[in-house]
Amino acid sequence: MTSLDTLFKPKSIAVIGASDTQGRAGNVIIRNLQSGAFQGPIMPVTPKYQAVAGILAYPTVEALPLVPDLAILCTQASRNSELIRQLGEKGVKVAIILAAGMKKTKAEDGRSEFEVMRDIASQYAMRVIGPNSLGLILPWLNLNASFSPIPANRGNIAFVSQSAAVCTTILDWARNRRIGFSTFISLGEASDIDFPELLDYLSRESKTDAILLYIDNIQDARAFISAARAASRNRRVLVLKSGRTPEGASLLPHLQENEIGLDGAYDAAIRRSGMLRVRTTHELFAAVETLSHSVPLRGERLAIISNGGGPAVMAVDTLLEMGGKLAVLSEETKAKLDAILPASWSQCNPVDIVGDADTERYKKVTEILLESDEADALLILHSPSVTAPGLKTAKALADMLKKSQRAKRFNILTNWQGESDDATVARLAFAHAGFPAYRTPESAVTAFMHLVEYRRNQKQLMETPTSIGQIDYDVEGGKALIEQALEENLRTLTTHEARPFLSKYGINVMATWLASDAAEAAQITEQVGYPVAVKLRSPDIAHKSDVNGVMLDLNNAIEVANAAQLMLNRVSMTYPTARIEGLQIQSMANRAGSQELRVCVRHDPVFGPVILLGEGGSEWDVNRDAAVAIPPLNMALARYLVIGAIKSGKLRQRGHPYNLDVNALCHFLVTLSQMLIDFPEITELDIHPLLVTGDSFTVLDASIKLSPFDGDGSTRLAIRPYPKELEERAELKDGRAILLRPILPEDEPNHKSFIEHVSVEDLYKRFFSDVGELNHEALANLTQIDYDREMAFVAVHRLDDGSDEILGVVRALANPDHTDAEFAVLVRSDLKGMGLGRILMEKVISYGRVSGIKRFNGMTMPSNSGMIALAQKVGFEIDVQLQDGIVEMDMAL
């Protein structure tokens, strides 16, 4: 068993610091274990009592009669390090620590008890939950190993939280709503076991359909995103992230000693991982309820039924403000509704069935809309009514919907308004019948939009980043310039210094001249021509606007000299100690019909380099005014950034003669992303303004900050980019040249063509089933991979017309610890005997050794003699199991 198997399937539990005093943690834990009817031995450890809650107690860890699978420490912070040592010596492999304050409690050697405890646990290979954890509840195992006063019902939602207070709030609400959990775990300060491991485990756990995360902060961004991307392909994952503002985040005690990441970067990571973020506890409750009862959303069209116009309008306003889509009724559906509704009905969606609607009218309209194909989800609104009593109508509709086969294809949401007992019980009746019920039209629509956003994020999940593409750039030329700057101890490149470097990536920068004083500025402008702009150059003045440090539209040498001298005078008065590095002279750009943007790269303390996009300005606040993306970007991901910036108002289409060219801006952003991958020395980059005229982009001002960097530059990034360094050329026996390279998302069409060149028999041997024609989703899963935990190499041959064809592919799927990997190889059926299979196998074995994988294993059929022979040639051990019809192949690396 792995350590997480032991955590989630314990057969025996020791409670360290058990107590007979009511209200103490050691007493609550024992009582909860008893009330939950845990079937294994419960062993209290305390020298104070002979028995706790009627269970024989043991004075020390050493005195325990057996090694417990799980130890729960209910002791104060100062004692826990030594207790962890005793548990390690006993052989315990998993512990939960409830105590808070271990980071602030000092050990004898001056370190915190937190650090000492973590080192001791590591020494004994012990896994730890906490400290400051509420504990663990596993309803399906009748295990309540928590300090919570509220138990959890059985269900299919896993809840993982960094906040103990949020845990008890959720439990209280869920119990009243009869919402159950497969797992309920409080991470506390996550000294060891954290979100990535739990996502990997829970996404494969059979009782879990959805995972809910409450996050204060992320400690390892790459591990988190990698695990989240994998989990989101198998389970629905929701996130409530606290600390949306810097001020709010700074109040969290465990974040006060760390830098706080951009909330926009968290947003980008959550979307990129295919998860759904909710903003408030109220939204979280609504989302949990929606998840508990929803089916996968077919589309985004919402139909609304209401017995009043006002609530329907409120629902539509919320829907459209959040970017939702209102279903459009066909003439046929309208005719059916005309036949049963009063003439005063709304004649459109929302379907206002009028205030005198009775229960039967609700049922008939619902049936008509379910029979149509014009909507993907249905929202039923009910205002208190004499003719359609709330509880009676709710029960009738719930009963009808449960029996309807068509209803199973829709997401059904309900809003029964009012605070009377009738409305409250009606909402509960829907919830118990499996249909989410909300108190207001707005909250019901918000819940629907959670499903829509989740669906959209799932689409984004399929977009895996690449670091190559149709970009014309000169890496070597750029490298020479960066090396020269660092050798000269130049750490900040301003516009005229950044211009030659940016030009290596095809980025157009306005020509810039330098002047040391006002007289030289006037002299230069006589040669440049008018009109010109003069800009202050000072590393100590962040905003030139503070000293009117940019003067535009200067038309002669006198204007230039006067403007420059006044600028320098203002600096000497306002910032007398500021360093002045001269003046920058530029010809005036033609701004007619243009739009000014700001594009930046910042180093986020959590996610590393992030790309910021907005309209800038002297009061630019990245938390408010910038859309955020995590590199690497490809064109699709860049488009998500641009469209998101437009929808959120951070970019505005201003109706210029030359509208913003979204594709051109995406190409610019992908170029910038590639630059970050190629040059880890870039710590910050600020392009402001970027003058955009249609598809023409001109940088007017740029600043690049540099720092020496050694090692693998991709480690800075929260998502591993395309590993270009793994490309390798080879040759087949017939002399055909091939390129071995990692697979790309853009390979999907070629991969489909490749599969079509593999015989049905060979596909059966590879997949152990009849494959048929692979759809987009299946092909996307094969081509859009996470390079951190999976690798697929394709053998590509360049045809005479310049296009590529895939001849073969080999895959290695590693476990989360990246120690063991399963391999599979497939070669075009018409290319057998060309040596391609061996080339691919040797490539993946070489990759495995370099990446730290310890063991490869694979499986094939006894009839696949070619694969078996190849595996033996390259060093695999073969185990033929004729009774099971399989051959196992294993190699220690």
Q: In the predicted model, what is the mean pLDDT of residues 245-250?
A: 63
Own/partner long-range contacts of 453-459 (Cβ < 8 Å, ≥24 apart): 453/276, 454/236, 454/238, 454/275, 454/276, 454/297, 455/297, 455/300, 457/232, 457/270, 457/271, 457/273, 457/274, 457/275, 457/276, 458/232, 458/274
Q: What is the pLDDT of residue 829?
A: 92
Q: What is the pLDDT of residue 257?
A: 58
State yes or no: pLDDT of 428 exceeds 60: yes
Do residues 248 and 218 touch, judged by C-beta distance below 8 A?
Answer: no
Q: In the predicted model, what is the mean pLDDT of residues 285-298?
A: 75
Among all chains, which residue has been given the structure tokens 């988190």? 224
Among all chains, which residue has been given the structure tokens 């797992």? 183
Q: In the predicted model, what is the mean pLDDT of residues 345-362?
A: 94
Q: In the predicted model, what is the mean pLDDT of residues 257-265?
A: 81
Domains 1-132 and 724-892 share a fold: no
Q: What is the pLDDT of residue 258?
A: 62
What architecture does CATH give domain 724-892?
3-Layer(aba) Sandwich (3.40)
State yes or no: pLDDT of 466 exceeds 70: no
Helix, strand, or coil (residue 348)? coil
CA–CA separation, 777 and 775 (whole Å): 6
What is the domain partition of the chain in residue ranges? 1-132, 133-252, 294-461, 511-583, 595-716, 724-892
Q: What is the pLDDT of residue 657?
A: 47
Per residue in 195-242, pLDDT tens? 999 999 999 999 999 899 999 999 999 999 999 999 998 898 999 998
CA-only gyration radius of the chain, Å: 32
Q: What is the pLDDT of residue 301?
A: 95
State yes or no: pLDDT of 591 exceeds 90: no
State yes or no: pLDDT of 765 exceeds 90: no
CA–CA separation, 404 and 431 (whole Å): 17
Q: What is the pLDDT of residue 801?
A: 86
pLDDT more than 90, % of the chain? 59
Q: In the predicted model, what is the mean pLDDT of residues 155-164?
A: 92
Residue 505: name the closest of 540, 538, 469, 532 by CA: 469
Per residue in 655-714, pLDDT tens? 554 578 888 899 999 999 999 999 999 999 999 889 988 888 999 999 999 999 998 899
- Mean pLDDT value across the chain: 89
Residue 721: DSSP 8-state: P
Do residues 634 and 469 touch, judged by C-beta distance below 8 A?
Answer: yes
pLDDT more than 70, % of the chain? 95
Specify the higher pLDDT residue, 788 or 459. 788
Residue 522 belongs to what H/E stretch? helix 518-528
> Under CATH, which number does the domain 133-252 receive?
3.40.50.261
Residue 812 belongs to what H/E stretch? strand 804-814
Domain 294-461 falls under CATH 3.40.50.1220:
no
Q: In the predicted model, what is the mean pLDDT of residues 487-491?
A: 92
Q: Where are the alpha helices (DSSP H) in 233-330?
A: 246-250, 263-272, 281-293, 309-321
State yes or no: pLDDT of 1 exceeds 50: no
Q: Give CA angle at 845 (841, 846), nearest 5°.
A: 115
Residue 51 belongs to what H/E stretch? strand 51-52
pLDDT band at 471 (very low <50, low <70, confident <90, very high): low
Per residue in 100-139, pLDDT tens? 999 999 988 889 999 999 999 999 999 999 999 999 999 9
Do residues 102 and 131 touch, judged by C-beta distance below 8 A?
Answer: yes
Q: What is the pLDDT of residue 618?
A: 66
State yes or no: pLDDT of 467 exceeds 50: no
Do residues 115 and 171 touch, judged by C-beta distance below 8 A?
Answer: no
State yes or no: pLDDT of 521 exceeds 60: yes
CA–CA separation, 750 and 796 (whole Å): 10
Q: Measured in whole angstroms, how far is the alpha carbon of residue 309 from the centre of its chain?
A: 39
Topology (CATH) of 511-583: Dna Ligase; domain 1 (3.30.1490)
Per residue in 379-405, pLDDT tens? 999 999 889 998 999 999 999 999 998
> Under CATH, which number does the domain 1-132 receive?
3.40.50.720
Ramachandran category for residue 522: left, alpha or beta (phi over 0 → left; psi -120 to 50 → alpha):
alpha
Of the candidate ranges 35-39, 173-177, 605-609, 848-852, the one whose mean pLDDT is the lowest: 173-177
State yes or no: pLDDT of 292 exceeds 70: no
Do residues 818 and 847 touch, judged by C-beta distance below 8 A?
Answer: no
Q: Which residues, in sequence order, are bridge partners of residue 492?
A: 705
What architecture does CATH give domain 595-716?
2-Layer Sandwich (3.30)
Q: What is the pLDDT of residue 341?
A: 95
Do residues 854 and 817 touch, judged by C-beta distance below 8 A?
Answer: no
Of the candidate ranges 21-30, 54-63, 471-480, 866-875, the one whose mean pLDDT is the lowest: 471-480
